[in-house]
Each structure stands twice: as C-alpha cells, then as structure tokens.
Chain A
C-alpha cells in the first residue's frame, strides 16, 4: 500500500509542470515542401466513404458554393496571416477542374466564404486594409458593397455568409483582438501598424471595470517602452472604472442578418470571438463555430476551447460571453490562468447570463467551417461536420501535439465529437508535417446541393514559427467526400 502511494505520488509529481517542462509542438512548425504532393490514399476517412481531390493549385481558398445551375465556385481569400496579400477572387470550378475567374476584388481581404442566393454571390470581405464589408457579386462579375465600414480586419475578420431559405443573408464578424485589449501581439499580426486607432466595438453599450494593462510599446525602439491600455479603446488609451463604451451595429464579435435585397444589418447575437462558421441545423436553429481565446497579448487566457454555439434567430440579442467568459465559465476561474497573469473581468456587468456551448473542440484546433448532413445519400443526417484548420502554435500558445488538421462530425444533441477525415499514420498533423499527400489545413466544409457529397476546402500550407505565419501560395485543394462508390 505504501509502495503504491509512493508510485502514485511519483506519477503525479512527474505530471506536475508537464506542460511547462515538455517541449512545445504544433502542426505548423515544419519546413514544408512548397510543391505540395496530393494523394487521397494518405487520408483516412470513416469506413464506407471515399475522398478525392477535385481542384488544386488554389491560393488561400476559403469557401465553396453552387449557383442555380449547380455549377461550383470557390473563393480565394486574397490574404493570409503572415501579412501575405494576393488578389481575392471568385472562381468557377469547371468539370475538368480548371478554374475560370468570375470576379477579382480589391486589396482588402480576406474573402472569407461565399454563398449564392437569389441570383447573386455574397462574399464576406475581411477588411485587413480598409475595414470589413459584405459584398454582392453578380454572375458576370460586378461587385457592389452591401455593407461597408464593418469594424473588422484586425486579428479576425468578417465571416460567413449563409443564406436562409427566404433569402435572408447571415454573416458574422470576428473581434479585432484576442480578449478585448489591443496589444503588442496585434503589432506583430500587422494590422496595428496600419491602423493605430482600430479597436473592438461592442454591439450594445457596455460599462467597463476600468482594468488597464501595462503593455510593451512596439513603436519605440529599445524594447523597454510601455503604454497603459484598456479594453475596447485604441492602443495606448487607459480606461476608467464605470466608463461606458457605446455600442453600435455592425460591431465586433457579432452575428447579423440582412433581409433579401436589404442593406441594413440587424443584430442577431453578439459576444463571440471569431464566429467563423455558420449553418442552419435541422431544428431551425443557427449553429456557430467560434474560435476560443489564445495565450497571447495583454490578456492571455489559457486552456480555452473552441466552441459550437446554438443560436435562436427568432430571439435576437443574446450575448455569448466574450471577453469575460470561456466555455460557459468566467475567465476569472484559476483554470484560465496557466503561467500568465490571472484574467480579470473587463465588463462591470454581464449583458445576460452566460450561455453554454453545444460542444467543446480542442484548444487551438481552429474549428471553422460547418455544415449539416441533410441526406441519406451521404448519411449521418442531422450531424454537423466541422473543418479544423489546425493550431497556429507557437503564436497562439504552446501545445503538446498538433491539434486539428482534420474534419470532425458532431452530435449536436449530446456534444460528442468524432473524427471523420484525418491524415493516416500514427500521429496527428498536417500533411506537410507527416510528409504525406493528405489534408493540410481544412478550413471550410459544404454539402453539395443534393446532399450526396461533402466538399472540403483545404487552405493549403501555413507554416508557423516564433516569427509568425508563413503561408505558401498555390497549395490550396478542394476535396470531395462521398459514400464509397458514389459520385457526388
């Protein structure tokens, strides 16, 4: 008995500080072959399903859709983390896999997703240069701005969009910052150098606790200068207890809708962090994937999941917790401290009681695009399929193994998550890390109009290091998954 106690305590003492002692890992910490090999045999899909590449050579693809003639289109974002700018494009994927350019956008990416509705394409323009927009693109390539001046283009961008059966367009906005405070991490992201006045904008009036942070000032040489900065204000601006920040729509971390043919966005829900993926479930509710906090910047939050939320579009206005809740819990709980300063509250009061997520994805998995299976032709009817872009360690925080880089399915009734399409082998990770021809960074998923095939938009290679992100152009792939023997 005494020996068992000694062994048990040894095991426990071994684990204490495991996280601190073990070296950091991460799927992007590789030196990738820019000539990305593609081999569907390197991907393990659930038994009874088959995966094939449909199109390759894409540069930073983010979304797929079909027009009313069932022709397939993808968008290339025109921007990647790592401050790499290309031209955002809407492309038609021809039956032989060739690409036809339909529209080319301004230098204001990323173009984060696309949907075809009532004769036109709607694209979320992320706004890294000039702020976010919702665009409408006609089939002959004419681009118009439906919504402009969206507070977006910082760490996260305008996302979505999707269309409801009545033609209402839903889109979302990610927050400018990690957790409410503009910090030196945003200088490294790049956008703070361009826009010193950008900050998060709440969707409703909020009252601050006045918590301020001493932050290194990257604008000054020498590395010793600091500024004092609060939340929801520009970099280097202190706040005071009881200070009210006015809300406005559109705003940061919000979910919006526009009636068919309309231009004025209506707030549906807010308090998200990076609500990248939107999809209607079989219950008529809107399901939202939302990337959780990172361990970086002025107010790091440790151990936050990525979340799947259920939103009732018939009851607009609910707040989903950012910047003071994670996983349905207050960030003031010690579990969110890690090796950093304990997060404290930024809001003096909660707009409403905290919401509970439907499911909790792995920390830093970057769980993004989502769609529901609706047809027995594919199976798993009623389950949500989610693309996990994969960790961006070390920038977003230390991980002990590659997280994400796969497609999972979720039972939204009990929150159970199962792997669906992953790279083969003994370890998890992107193809570049495994030296294979499989999935790299799945970003979006969408079922074909007849429901028989799942399309996976694979962003391509994004390497990571202490210096930041390093994407590789021309390595994006569009994959198709069908029942084995199906054509999709």
Chain B
C-alpha cells in the first residue's frame, strides 16, 4: 500500500514536471537553423519519415510535443520499440535499426537543447 501511494505521488510529480517545460517550438523562424551532427542529420531524416506526422518538428499533433520534455534516452528507446497502446506504434528493428534509433535520439536531443535566437 505504501509503495502504491509512493508510486502515485511520484507519478503526479512527474506529470507536473513534464507538463511545465516551456515552448515546444524549434522551427527555423523562431530558433534559427540548427547545425546538426552527422548522426543528428541522419536522425532528422529518419524522424521526418517515421515520427513527423504525429510529432511535427517535435511539436504536438496527434502525439504530444516532445521538444519541451526531458525524457531519458532509455525510456525514449523503450517507447519507440514498444509503442503505446492505442496511439503510438511500435517500431521493430526491421524498420529502425538500433543505430537508427540512436541517431533519432541524437537529433531530438540536439533539437531540445536549441535555445531561442
């Protein structure tokens, strides 16, 4: 019972933390161009073909915004591989290799860290 209460409290705190993380906008007119690493650029192309429709430019659409939330890479990888029931599809290693997923995360982290110009 104490463990369940602790988990509920932690969940509420996490929800509050992820909900208030600033603007999700990272577009060129707002932030200026971003100089991506080679891995980040590869990840960007993959993102555009696999993720952009639900998270356009990392902002919200049918999926939530991801630019303005700090989510650890292992959790992001888990979500990419397992999906989320009824909303996000799972991407197998046949669709996205481990290197592909790593590069997408490099892209997202480079995007997330970009400060306004």
Contacts and interface: CB of A to CB of B under 8 A. Distances in A.
Asked if chains A and B come from one complex, the reply is yes
Interface of A: 4, 6-8, 10-20, 22, 25, 44-47, 292, 302-306, 327, 333-335, 337-339, 359-365, 391, 397-401, 403, 406, 414-422, 424, 426-428
Interface in B13-36: 14-15, 18, 22-25, 27-30, 32
Given A14-B11, A427-B25, A335 B61 contact: no
Interface string B72-102: 1011001100101111010000000000000
B13 to A, nearest CB: 10
A360 B62 contact: no
5 tightest A-B CB contacts, nearest first: A401-B60, A419-B27, A362-B56, A305-B53, A335-B89
Interface in B43-84: 44-45, 48-49, 52-54, 56-57, 59-65, 71-72, 74-75, 78-79, 82, 84
Contacts of B24: 401
Nearest to B77: A8
B75 A420 contact: no
Contacts of A426: 22-23, 25
B52 A10 contact: no
A46 B32 CA distance: 7
A365 B56 contact: yes
Interface residues of B, number: 44
A4 B10 CA distance: 13
Contacts of B22: 426
A6 to B, nearest CB: 7
11 contacts: A8-B78, A12-B82, A16-B84, A18-B84, A20-B86, A303-B87, A305-B53, A400-B65, A418-B27, A422-B27, A426-B23
A46 B7 contact: no
Given A397-B62, A400-B65, A426-B25, 20 more contacts: A13-B11, A14-B11, A16-B84, A18-B64, A19-B87, A46-B28, A47-B117, A335-B89, A360-B52, A362-B52, A362-B54, A362-B56, A363-B54, A365-B61, A399-B60, A400-B61, A415-B45, A419-B30, A419-B57, A427-B23
